[in-house]
Structure 1
Amino acid sequence: MSSETTETCDAFLGGRVQLYQPADGYRAGVDPVMLAAATPAQPGQHVLELGCGAGAALLCLHARVAGLSLTGVEMQPMYADLARRNAALNGADMRVVEADLRHLPPDIKTRGFDHVMANPPYYDRARSTSSLNAGRDMALAGDTPLSDWIDVAAKRLAPKGYLTMIQKADRLPDILTPLMARLGSVRVRAIQPRVGRVAELVIVQARKGGRAAFVMEPPLIMHEGERHLRDGESYTAQVLTILREGGDLPWGH
């Protein structure tokens, strides 16, 4: 593809991550940054992202935590290629595998990972309208049920490993049933646009072999105030730290 006409190079984490993205189609925003911030990886651990797109979440995690072994799975060739180029651009030792998550190559199917990350398509194919852009349509709706994402993630986790996932809030029921059947120590954090507003997104964490009780974490509030009053950014201090400085989004204990 011609980078002059079909791609942009965008800065994340205050410029610590540079990301080539298609000018049209699915483009990463704050969601993969939040996913990376909520993934409690430690140096030396192995991280797998299912549906890594152009690599935004893995590269944001790489910028925050040194010494990780990173693997991304992406079924769309264009995005897999972008992810490889972005890994090189950001100096990340990151392997990108072009595959359907339901048909992983043998060397991944036989490995256990300390963390699995996922930002599955937000819309239920049966209840959504297809996008004219094929890449955007696959990223936003796809054809793989959430239960399959969770099943694959659970199989790929090493004992005591963590799954961290971001998804639309109204799909939380679709997540919890299969998740709690496969993993334990489930925690949920709602992401609200402002105080008093309905949550639009949720971040969900679960642990393989975990036995702790279900926890509903305090919500993350994205913007200051109860309504938008002026032009310009209004992110809360916590969100600014995540978006601009690569800060983490810790879970309670």
Structure 2
Amino acid sequence: MRASARSCDVGEPVADRLLGGRLTLLQRPGGHRAGTDAVLLAAAADAPADGHFVDVGSGVGSAGLMLARRCPGARGLLVEVDGATAALARRNCVENGLAERVEVVEADLFARAADRPAALAPERAALVLTNPPFFAREVVRASPDADRARAHVLGGQGHGDWLAACVALLAPRGRFVTIHRPDALPELLAACTGRLGALVLRPVLARPGGDAIRILLAGTKGSRAPLRLAPPFVLHGPDGAFTPEAEAVHRGEAAVTL
């Protein structure tokens, strides 16, 4: 099984078309593949026209590039720790004509500020968005594929540590947006204390009446406004097809309101 998992990652990246064909994303055929999570995150993040956004743990650039495509005035930074994946993100920037507005840096979110690239300075970003690894290392068996393992499993930190490191990149009154699993919510909310206010929580349901399978969480650095619970975002109708709202978001024709 392990040999098979490695062998399927060999070869040229596969080109996937997202946002109704308006974005081409080169992805490893056997590695982690961006999908609905990245689409929802990008649609929920609203980059100010004169602001700077950072996509932390960007992978091949899926969420950040979708955001840049949706917000023509936005300029951003894709942060990825793995060199090969960062190189693929750079190819995606060029492929989509976004290299002048979106930069890619290979960097560790948890490195000391002095050891990071100058582009990743603290308290600079107007917006930080992140689709982080969903699982702690001690509670899940990591995939034998290194790319999948990096995308799904935290190295040695907790969910709250990741959130705190992301918020440190935000300028005062900057906005943070993430997508995550519902079971991470207690740790995320605890990490927001003293860092983020005006929190907005929106559950994502697979079908009407079901439990949440994801949460979208947003907040403003330094705000003291209370938390607000937004209506659920429903992905599929009873027939299994996308709801009209989800279809519009996946085609890049609508945002996810938070």
Same fold, judged at TM 0.5 (above)? yes
| 8 Å Cα contact 1:161/1:207 also seen in 2 | yes
Tell me what 2:104 maps to: 96
The reply on whether 1:180 has 2:188 as its aligned counterpart is no
Whole-Å separation in 1 of the counterparts to 2:122 and 2:170: 11
CA contact (8 A) 1:21 1:27 kept: yes
| Residue identity matched to 2:162 | W
User: 2 CA distance for matches of 1:246 and 1:30?
Assistant: 15
Q: Distance in 2 between matches of 1:210 and 1:167?
A: 22
TM alignment of 1:19-168, pairs within 5 A: 19-92=25-98, 93-103=101-111, 104-110=116-122, 112-143=124-155, 144-168=157-181
Residue matched to 2:3: none
Alignment partners' CA distance in 2, 1:249 and 1:52: 19
- Between the two proteins, the alignment pairs up a number of residues equal to 243
Distance (whole Å) between structure 2 residues aligned to residue 222 and residue 110 of structure 1: 35
CA deviation map 1:80-128 (0-9, x unaligned) = 0111000000111211110111123244224511100011101121100
Q: Secondary structure of 1:245's match?
A: coil
Contact 1:60 1:246 in 2 (8 A): no
Q: CA deviation at 1:159?
A: 1.3
**Structure 1 segments (4+ residues) deviating >6 Å:** none
Report Cα offsets for 1:180-214 as digits up to 9, x if no partner.
23111111100000011111100100101112111
> What runs of 5+ residues in structure 1 fail to find an aligned partner?
none
Check conservation: 1:186, 1:204, Cα contact below 8 A: yes
* Percent identity over paired residues: 33
Match of 2:218 in 1: 205
Shift of 1:8: 0.4
Secondary structure class of the residue paired with 2:191: helix
Paired residue secondary structure (1:202): strand
TM-score, normalized by length of structure 1? 0.92
Secondary structure of 1:188's counterpart equals strand
Indicate conservation of the 8 Å contact 1:63/1:246, yes or no. no
Structure 1 residues 154, 111: closer, same or farther in 2, change over 3 A? closer
User: Residue type of the partner of 2:72?
Assistant: A
Separation in 1, partners of 2:235, 2:119? 39
Matching residue's letter, 2:184 = R
Shift of 1:70: 0.8
Please tell me the root mean square deviation across aligned C-alpha atoms, in Å.
1.6
Q: For 1:152 and 1:239, how far apart are their aligned partners in 2?
A: 31
